[in-house]
């Protein structure tokens, strides 16, 4: 049976088809037609209503050269996708003649000439500005909550770490152990909020680097030793012989996925075993297809709730922070990361018997050249302790950084605002600045820009690590744009800070 609508329209009615369809579309959608050079050739009344520009004002003009109507970067990206795929779907921000922001959900398709070059492009769009604003409000709410709590949480985690290095009674050791576990659980939740915020804002990026699968597993496993021991659970890792040793992809995201799934399995398994199985199920010239499975013998998920979760997993709904125990914030994040990697995830469960979560992801093939690892050794360059200037205005954070740098064996001194930083680096020689970005008088952004623009070398090129509790997805980019050498977000451990410093001086 033919699926072409035109085949079912009587011949005498086909000549009216375009007119009829245009009448229907005109009432519902904003339609615009472009030349291959991105010039407007036609806009309907709905587009004029949405944009504030008439057909006459737009015709013959390149779309991204009309005031701030639409971003050149966005249009070039759409054209690139159209040249590859012939069509594109997504959301584009337009700006009304009066300056108001407007979001259209666009379906774009192109027409090709006899040499297979794009001859025209058509946009058909509906107004989703209200939905976009709701998503932005949600993102801002997540950001504000996280920002307000990250700084005190950093204090709790760091002070707990310091307590572990003191003489404690048996009871105090138990209290510190539970305090550490609780604070780290909250920290993981904030990390999940951070990633969800990036996904919602469309700024979620996946890294591409060579990594060894065994090493990722080795980094995940120790995190759960204590919990497994307390519940007397056995964790077994099974990597099939056909699984490649090295692949190209994002090891951090794989750790996140496995970590979230293991966390759920341990939480809902009171006895028995938890398994992680990894196998290669396909490959081509450039990629491996790997299947991962996390299997537990826990309480399982009742069928009505499992049906609901599976229904949610097949919906493209950004607000589906799945609802029940095993399907909370962590599982929602897992779904979104796997979707971002163009992978697939499945859940199988039976109440009282346990749960299996499987996911399939493609990874690039690694050759010997790309697989070489760099060696970092700060001591090769420095035979004396680093001299660090700490730019921080709060007493608690000063205490934490003081103890952290003492632990690392570095020399240090303090500045409480940007102006003090500038005065101190004029008088003393520092190897590194740790720069809090929210300070009075002169904040971190202003200070870094001033150092980079107003001093000559070597002062202008002094390494600076910016520190912030702000998890807005563009915060690292803003810090680096201001001239920071690297960025670290609160809360962080002394080992994470040491790793950043080692990389700068490797």
Q: Could you tell me if 33 and 20 lie in one domain?
A: yes
Position 310 scores a pLDDT of 57
Position 192 scores a pLDDT of 67
Residue 270 three-state SS: coil
* Within-domain flag for 251: yes
Per-residue pLDDT of the chain (506 residues; tens, 9 = 90+): 455 666 766 676 666 766 766 676 766 888 899 998 999 999 888 899 888 998 889 989 998 888 889 988 889 888 888 887 888 888 888 988 888 888 898 998 888 888 888 889 999 988 888 777 776 676 667 667 766 778 788 888 888 888 988 899 999 998 998 888 888 778 777 776 666 666 655 555 667 889 999 988 888 888 788 788 888 999 999 999 999 999 998 888 888 889 888 988 888 888 889 999 999 999 999 899 999 999 999 888 887 777 666 555 544 443 333 333 334 445 666 777 787 778 888 888 888 888 999 999 999 998 644 444 433 333 344 456 899 999 999 898 899 999 999 988 899 999 999 999 999 999 999 999 999 998 989 999 999 999 999 998 889 999 999 998 876 656 777 888 889 999 998 888 888 898 899 888 87
User: For residues 475 and 481, what is the distance between their CA atoms, to the nearest angstrom?
Assistant: 10
C-alpha dihedral sign at 197, 199, 204, 209: positive
- Asked which of 127, 154, 189 is the last residue of a domain, the reply is 127
CATH code, domain carrying 250: 3.30.565.10
| Number of folded domains that form the chain | 4
* Within-domain flag for 418: yes
Q: Could you tell me if 434 and 309 lie in one domain?
A: no
DSSP 273-298: EEEEEEEEEEE-SSEEEEEEEEEE-S
CATH code, domain carrying 75: 3.30.450.20
Q: Could you tell me if 236 and 191 lie in one domain?
A: no
Position 319 scores a pLDDT of 35
Position 342 scores a pLDDT of 80
Of the candidates 29, 32, 74, 28, the one whose C-alpha atom is nearest the C-alpha of residue 54 is 32
- Asked which of 127, 145, 170 is the last residue of a domain, the reply is 127
- Give rounded-to-5 percent helix, strand, coil for the chain: 45, 25, 30
Q: Could you tell me if 466 and 423 lie in one domain?
A: yes
Angle at 42 between CA 41 and CA 43, to 5 degrees: 140
Q: Could you tell me if 339 and 400 lie in one domain?
A: no
Q: Could you tell me if 181 and 55 lie in one domain?
A: no
CATH code, domain carrying 485: 3.40.50.2300
- Answer whether 494's CB lies under 8 Å from 407's CB: yes
Q: For residue 345, is the peptide bond before it cis, meaning its omega torsion is within 30 degrees of 0?
A: no
- Asked which of 365, 392, 409 is the last residue of a domain, the reply is 365
Q: Could you tell me if 110 and 219 lie in one domain?
A: no
Position 109 scores a pLDDT of 87
Q: What are phi and psi of 107, to 5 degrees?
A: -110, 115
* Domain extent at residue 148: 132-201
Q: Could you tell me if 343 and 222 lie in one domain?
A: yes
Of the candidates 392, 363, 112, 417, the one whose C-alpha atom is nearest the C-alpha of residue 246 is 363
pTM over 0.85? The answer is: no
- H-run or E-run covering 350: strand 344-350
Position 429 scores a pLDDT of 92
Position 370 scores a pLDDT of 43
Position 301 scores a pLDDT of 81
Q: Could you tell me if 409 and 486 lie in one domain?
A: yes
Q: Could you tell me if 244 and 357 lie in one domain?
A: yes
* Within-domain flag for 373: no
Residue 339 three-state SS: helix
Q: Could you tell me if 361 and 259 lie in one domain?
A: yes
């Amino acid at each position: 049976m033919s699926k072409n609508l035109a085949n079912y329209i009587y011949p005498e009615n086909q000549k009216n088809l375009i007119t009829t369809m245009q009448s229907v579309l005109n009432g519902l959608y904003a339609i615009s037609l472009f030349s291959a050079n991105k010039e407007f050739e036609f806009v309907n009344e709905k587009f004029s209503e949405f944009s504030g520009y008439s057909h006459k004002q737009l015709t013959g003009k390149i779309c991204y050269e009309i005031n701030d109507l639409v971003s050149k970067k966005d249009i070039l990206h759409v054209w690139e996708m159209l040249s590859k795929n012939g069509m594109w779907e997504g959301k584009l921000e337009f700006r009304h003649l009066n300056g108001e922001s407007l979001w259209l959900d666009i379906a774009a398709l192109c027409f090709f000439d006899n040499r297979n070059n794009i001859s025209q492009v058509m946009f058909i769009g509906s107004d989703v500005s209200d939905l976009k604003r709701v998503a932005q409000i949600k993102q801002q709410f997540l950001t504000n909550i996280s920002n307000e709590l990250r700084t005190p949480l950093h204090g709790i985690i760091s002070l707990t770490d310091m307590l572990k290095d003191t003489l404690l009674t048996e009871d105090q050791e138990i209290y510190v152990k539970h305090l550490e576990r609780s604070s780290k659980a909250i920290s993981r939740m904030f990390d999940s909020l951070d990633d969800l915020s990036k996904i919602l804002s469309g700024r979620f990026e996946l890294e591409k680097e060579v990594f060894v699968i065994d090493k990722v597993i080795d980094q995940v496993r120790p995190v759960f030793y204590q919990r497994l021991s307390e519940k007397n659970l056995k964790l077994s890792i099974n990597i099939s012989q056909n699984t490649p040793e090295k692949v190209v992809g994002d090891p951090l995201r794989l750790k996140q996925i496995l970590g979230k799934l293991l966390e759920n399995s341990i939480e809902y398994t009171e006895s028995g075993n938890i398994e992680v199985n990894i196998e290669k199920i396909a490959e081509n010239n450039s990629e491996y297809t790997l299947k991962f499975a996390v299997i537990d013998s826990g309480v399982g998920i009742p069928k009505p709730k499992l049906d609901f979760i599976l229904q949610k997993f097949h919906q493209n709904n950004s607000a589906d922070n799945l609802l029940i125990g095993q399907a909370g914030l962590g599982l929602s994040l897992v779904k979104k990361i796997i979707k971002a990697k163009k992978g697939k995830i499945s859940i199988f469960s039976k109440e009282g018997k346990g749960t299996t979560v499987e996911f399939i992801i493609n990874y690039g093939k690694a050759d010997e050249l790309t697989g070489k690892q760099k060696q970092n050794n700060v001591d090769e360059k420095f035979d004396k302790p680093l001299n660090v200037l700490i730019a921080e205005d709060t007493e608690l954070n000063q205490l934490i950084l003081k103890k952290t740098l003492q632990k690392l064996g570095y020399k240090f001194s303090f500045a409480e605002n940007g102006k003090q930083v500038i005065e101190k680096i004029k008088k003393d020689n520092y190897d590194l600045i740790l720069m809090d970005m929210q300070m009075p008088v002169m904040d971190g952004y202003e200070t870094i820009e001033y150092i980079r623009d107003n001093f000559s070398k070597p002062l202008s090129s002094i390494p600076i690590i910016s520190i912030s509790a702000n998890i807005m997805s563009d915060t690292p980019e803003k810090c680096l744009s201001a001239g920071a050498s690297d960025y670290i977000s609160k809360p962080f451990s002394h080992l994470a800070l040491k790793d950043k410093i080692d990389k700068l001086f490797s």
